[in-house]
Chain A
């Protein structure tokens, strides 16, 4: 048995960021010591359409550490001690049976605002990024698979403070260039360019101010999205200025530029590899990824659409659905291993410092309760190796998001419709 000589007190003393987490009753078996000082990272991997119910969820009777890993997760067998599966989490406002991602990280009520037929709120990754992203070149990175069906409206998993969609990159190639390609332009010229960018923003704001005159309140609110967009660019320029003289780092193991035609299984694998590389050079600490669905099952040899797969009945459709579950589990295992292999200077691995969530707002077919949720990585201080079945079958998924925020050191009291952190994760 793994027993680490640590008390709660010594742990809290080692890093002031984690003060104020009263539910951290015991850290016995928590995955990592040094993670208290190593930068924390958050990763959200969204499946879109749900899983094959019959073969993805462990038997609800077998809880705790001694449970049989179901067939759909079989490729994770070597990592059973590193993962946690939680059942009975859900968003109470979910009504859209084809939106696996739109409100997954927000828990919002689509109809919360009178006079509007669509409303969303900030996503948990963006809340985390406000803190975790302060010291990195990129505040957060959003990724999307192409043909990512089953995820619902949105430009990525991320939604900003105004509940507006945040866009993402949709190929490994684009991610590679964002992370590692350096601008060859001389420094002085780049400084000049950023200065010019600021004047550009100043110029369009001049026009925006004149547009504002005489608008109704609703129209002003609409125009505010434009202002917000300009403010975000200003923030980004500010950050670019800070990082201007710092060249982009390449990971120790040099990466080749990924091919432009990668799709499906290979595309996901490459995205995972690039995410690990990005963590190694600490380019960003927050990632979200809407996994591709159609291209994935096509790369596994299926000819049906992912929509057909998700509404599986006995036969080919269910077979494809199970194949997809297994392929995703296999890829996740690959990701975990890569993170574990990546050792930091202090001897801990990237795995120890990352909080990784794999799941969907859709359970399977049209079911929106018991959202499939798999956790791994030591970043939030969760003790892994368990199968947790929450007593309340309607436990807010936002309780998990809150636990993660708290676990990585953000002192939030509430997120979405949360009622409190999930203590069982820490014990």
Chain B
């Protein structure tokens, strides 16, 4: 028997009570939670489980398999004890322990034991990985690097070739997780060199030229040739068929199968081509139309240019505009994808008002980045995938009499490209590279000034050491001596500056102290990277240079407000929101295009933007945080308005629109993006959606999916529907411990399909053996039922349907605000949110609560907090 009277256990019992009280008291007593030292602790009630099921073999004397559970502390306070508890969790989950021949825990015991243990282990991991308030020096992450280069040089680089900064379980601002891998140094140099080539241009400004193409000339020539080929091929095939047994090789075919194949191709391709060429519109412009090969699109190529951007204009009209459905009036534009002709790198979309009779002229800004993205394409908005084109085309042929595929809706008369344009010439004039040339400057003295100037700006708060500049200039001299042109040599040297640690790391040296207050310059840098993911601008630097100005809370508040209103704050909104709401899932899956032909790239990207716009609107206007859960408005553009079925929204920009009565939109749960993230591209996933709600809205993240949970043996090799799976989850202790919290929430959203479209009726189509059985019995193969979306929140609060669930979640605004606060702190400070930060979170919450949880107040409170200005 385990002795129950030792003082240590009494202590444990007492602190257990404190923890318990804190848990039931909830967020309004959050302060009580932080006064007790954080502890991960298995509740004492599980002593009995140990006694009954484990200690026979795993007491200190026997310690079977080297596992001694008798002396295992119920405080999970060291890495070693966490490891052993993890082991206990794993073997219980896998059903390995207790052994089959021994007594087994009851389902109830097991569920509680596993629930407590997995929960406490998460707490233990948090405590054990607590940074203790240390903010580790941070390397610029990819986003920050791109923005910083842009702010210095005035040109944008694509840093996606650098290793990803994705941080398991954290943000890309966490210094301790931002590593430096072996070939990263060279990658930085290469990227910087590319940027410098774009930023520094010599000589006269290139002349602006305008080029117009009538795309039909090249397209029709191509199509005519192809159509002729098909005709000729068919003629040969017919001749062979009429030839009475001559070998196919005589007619230019390898074998008979090839003949059949070519006939099939003819059937598939020729009618659309001939029909296209017969249409008079094809003789005066391009009919943007769907065919088997993809899309006939309008294209224009940018002439070679050193950097710069172009204006592209196109004259476009809708075909048979009077009867054309709204959703077929959108064009999509972008550059040719390198990997596949039928796909484009979509850059945007636009609604077309013009008609064939009265076309409109649309203008785009086009900025080629390199040599392989100089073709600008316009086509109808469509799924961006060649396979999808083919399948949808064939499906259309199957269901329509005509063999021609969908009717075309848009026509482009001509396209025009004008450029290159430059914001200024030479581009370096307004960047950190610009130094006025003195009369007595040689190449060498002048370039030294350029290098010094950039280094000073690039190093932010630190003065480059003279020895360093000397070494850079020695390199420059050596290069010039070896025959490199001074203009090239200086770029090579500048690229080294942009791969040096003073540029790549945000430094806050403490000079021997454990903690210290940041100086105004450092604070300006921290604030700018928090709110802009970019370096400070001149205004902020000026304030920082003005004595102790920036230390005044009021001044920080003003600056924060100013910066949040600046377009650069988009960097924060995107970077933070994407990670906070786990939006990476939006790109995990290729959607099943036959099931969701409307869910194309433009919808997906607009849906993503919708989330950012909601957050931005909330922050800029200081709206209450709860409106992210439930709102009577949505932030949408014309495309999403069509998608959601909301009338009267014209134009591509996002705006606040009142939700018409009866529509399930308004708040994150009604958005296509969040719903699509909770799917696998085919079906909605109740589990993913439930986990998302727990994690993002209720601040109650479930433990990670456990490894090695045995499959129910009676289910092996059986087909299990999702609804059945959810029921099964409740049956087994290992699953029930978490899934009883997760699944009901996910099911509350079942009206939304994988692409976020609302359905009142669930349509279930039987397949395979089940379908045969049903047919035999004269039962329907397609079953229609009303959704049952009733369920409960983790604490037992019941809801009848989606609307009620959303109401109940919206009522938990304290939980939601807590999660938002903790995530913001983690992002802002660049370290995992730990127990050391609880007090800070309390303060931020309190401040925000005074303003009805206005979204901007959370950010203002963090920026003004004591911790934010401490290293």
Contact = CB atoms under 8 A, between A and B. Distances in A.
B512 A222 contact: no
B175 interface: yes
Contacts of B592: 303
Could you say which interface size class chain A belongs to? 35 or more
A214 B179 contact: no
A304 B468 contact: no
Contact of B465 (A210, A216, A222, A229): A210
Mostly helix, strand, loop or mixed at chain A's interface? loop
Interface stretch (A69-77, A196-204, A280-288): A196-204
B168 A117 contact: yes
B467 A206 contact: yes
A199 B166 CA distance: 33
Contact of B500 (A118, A153, A204, A216): A204
A110 to B, nearest CB: 8
Contacts of B180: 164, 225-226, 228-229
Interface stretch (A239-247, A308-316, A329-337): A308-316
Contacts of B706: 97, 366
Interface in A192-228: 192, 196, 199-200, 202-204, 206-208, 210-211, 213-216, 218-219, 222-223, 225-226, 228
A115 B500 contact: no
A230 interface: yes
Nearest to B183: A167
B509 A213 contact: yes
Interface in B456-489: 462, 464-465, 467-468, 471-472, 474-475, 478-479, 482
Given A114-B79, A210-B502, A223-B505, A367 B471 contact: no
Given A97-B707, A366-B709, A115 B501 contact: no
A169 to B, nearest CB: 11
Mostly helix, strand, loop or mixed at chain B's interface? loop
B371 interface: no
B478 A153 contact: no
Given A117-B129, A202-B471, A223-B137, A207 B464 contact: yes
A233 B475 contact: no
Contact of B182 (A167, A216, A218, A222): A167
A198 B705 CA distance: 49
Interface string B557-584: 0000000000000000000000000000
A23 interface: no
B57 interface: no
B194 interface: no
A261 B475 contact: no
B707 A95 contact: yes
Contacts of B803: none
B511 A313 contact: no
A54 interface: yes
Contacts of A12: none
Contacts of A165: 163, 179, 181
A233 B179 contact: no
B125 interface: yes
Contacts of B682: 304, 308
A226 B501 contact: yes
A170 B382 CA distance: 30
A262 to B, nearest CB: 11
A223 B478 contact: no
A314 B132 CA distance: 48
Interface in B62-107: 79, 82-83, 86-87, 90, 94
Nearest to A165: B181
B181 A230 contact: no
Given A112-B79, A117-B129, A314 B501 contact: no
A9 B620 CA distance: 80
Contact of B181 (A166, A206, A208, A315): A166
B478 A199 contact: yes
Given A94-B707, A233-B186, 5 more contacts: A192-B482, A211-B462, A215-B507, A233-B185, A305-B590
Interface of B: 79, 82-83, 86-87, 90, 94, 125, 128-132, 134, 136-137, 139, 163, 166-170, 175-177, 179-186, 339, 462, 464-465, 467-468, 471-472, 474-475, 478-479, 482, 496, 499-502, 504-505, 507, 509-512, 514, 588-590, 592, 680-682, 704-709, 711, 716-720, 832
Nearest first, the 5 closest Cβ-Cβ pairs linking A and B are A214-B509, A219-B137, A214-B511, A225-B180, A203-B471
Interface of A: 54, 92-97, 109, 111-112, 114-118, 153, 155, 160, 164-167, 192, 196, 199-200, 202-204, 206-208, 210-211, 213-216, 218-219, 222-223, 225-226, 228-230, 232-233, 261, 303-305, 307-308, 313-315, 365-369
28 contacts: A95-B86, A97-B705, A97-B706, A111-B79, A115-B131, A116-B129, A117-B129, A165-B181, A196-B478, A196-B479, A199-B475, A200-B496, A203-B475, A214-B509, A216-B514, A218-B137, A219-B507, A223-B137, A226-B504, A228-B182, A229-B183, A304-B680, A307-B680, A308-B680, A308-B682, A365-B711, A366-B708, A368-B707
